[in-house]
Amino acid sequence: MAVPKKRHSKSKVGRRRQHIFLKKPTLSKCPKCANFVLPHTLCSFCGYYKGKEVIDVLGKMDKKERKQREKDMKVKDKTEEGTKKKRSLSWKELSKRQ
């Protein structure tokens, strides 16, 4: 059986292993609840996939959890509405003096 003639230095081993590392997962935002999810998977928070409800997440929870989740979803909807209302002004609106 072949045996290496010399010991590999730390730098030699490091150069060989430079491509072996953990990569960040690519996440996308759920269009319904704006939580981060893996692409091509349904959202575990709201149960939607591609704009359609796949599973009823709230139906599987007990009463206390359901109320808390509904409250969280309402808060997120309100914050989204607030950000959507902020839009860029057109040139006509910019030219008006106030």
What pLDDT score was predicted for residue 62?
82
H or E segment to which residue 48 belongs: strand 48-49
H or E segment to which residue 16 belongs: helix 10-16
Average pLDDT by stretches of 10, the chain with 98 residues? 89 93 90 88 86 80 82 79 65 65
| Alpha-carbon gap, residue 56 to 59, rounded angstroms | 5
Whole-model pTM? 0.48
Domain positions in the chain are 26-77
Instruction: Output the six-digit token pair for 20.
Output: 């072996």
| Alpha-carbon gap, residue 48 to 56, rounded angstroms | 9
| Alpha-carbon gap, residue 91 to 98, rounded angstroms | 14
Q: Letter for the amino acid at 9?
A: S
What pLDDT score was predicted for residue 60?
73
